[in-house]
């Protein structure tokens, strides 16, 4: 039910959540399974979770004013066709822990299954570990996901700021001269030791895709512009 109302979670801290259920299988701080857009999630801190900060499995749930701080795996994760909206999200990793800022899938078994994951994200500030060896990507977009990302900053991630993976994801995005609008980033800034995970064997370079869209900059942001 796209309009499902699972209640209100507002002005809440979820701290030190999660446990290793079995090897390489931990619980998230906040997991949303098929939750609908009638639900109210606002002003939530997810602090030092054992696995992901927040993960959506399908659904249409929206959220605002989220701080995902110091979580051991991904800060924001989605899959299984999530079609919601998220705005004003702060991601901050510890210097010695954390994986991807965003880890985004459509469906890991069938990358082109429908409904396809295609959230709208705006005003994300994603700060990685700052380490050259610890941590992942600012945003790992894979397994056929879509997304429209606006007005966001990715900085300090060890592997890259932006990484597109899986043939289905590239196909969903289109081409440098023929973007479909299904997977986009605009008016955003990347500032990592390696901004893009460019692979010449892939259909297009992530850097070219990023630079082909409006208002993007691959340079160090002036912090005072975003206070």
Distance of CA 155 to the CA centre of its chain: 13
d(CA 7, CA 2): 14
Q: ∠ CA(24), CA(29), CA(34), 5° rounding? A: 95
DSSP-based three-state secondary structure for 83: coil
Radius of gyration for the alpha carbons in the chain, expressed in angstroms and rounded: 16
Distance of CA 63 to the CA centre of its chain: 13
In the numeric block, which tokens belong to residue 52? Answer: 């992901």
Look up residue 226 and give its DSSP letter.
G
> pLDDT tens per residue, the chain (227 residues)?
999 999 999 999 999 998 778 887 779 999 999 999 999 999 999 999 999 999 999 999 999 999 999 999 999 999 999 999 999 999 999 999 999 999 999 999 999 999 999 999 999 999 999 999 999 999 999 999 999 999 999 999 999 999 999 999 999 999 999 999 999 999 999 999 999 999 999 999 999 999 999 999 997 644 444 44
């Amino acid at each position: 039910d796209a309009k499902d109302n699972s209640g209100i979670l507002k002005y809440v801290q979820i701290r030190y959540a999660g446990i290793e259920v079995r090897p390489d299988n931990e619980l998230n701080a906040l997991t949303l399974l098929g939750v609908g857009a009638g639900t109210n999630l606002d002003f939530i801190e997810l602090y030092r979770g054992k696995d992901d900060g927040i993960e959506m499995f399908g659904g249409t749930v929206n959220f605002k004013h989220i701080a995902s701080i110091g979580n051991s795996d991904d800060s924001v994760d989605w899959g299984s066709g999530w079609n919601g909206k998220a705005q004003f999200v702060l991601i901050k990793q510890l210097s010695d822990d954390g994986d991807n800022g965003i880890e985004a899938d459509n469906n890991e078994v069938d990358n082109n299954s429908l409904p396809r994951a295609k959230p709208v994200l705006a005003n994300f500030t994603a700060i990685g570990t700052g380490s050259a060896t610890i941590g992942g990507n600012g945003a790992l977009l894979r397994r056929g996901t879509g997304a429209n990302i606006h007005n966001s900053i990715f900085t300090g991630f060890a592997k890259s700021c932006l990484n597109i993976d899986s043939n289905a994801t590239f196909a969903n995005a289109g081409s440098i001269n023929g973007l479909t609008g299904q997977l986009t980033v605009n008016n955003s800034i990347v500032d990592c030791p390696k901004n893009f995970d460019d692979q010449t064997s892939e259909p297009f370079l992530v850097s070219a895709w990023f630079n082909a869209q409006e208002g993007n900059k691959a340079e160090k942001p002036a912090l005072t512009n975003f206070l």
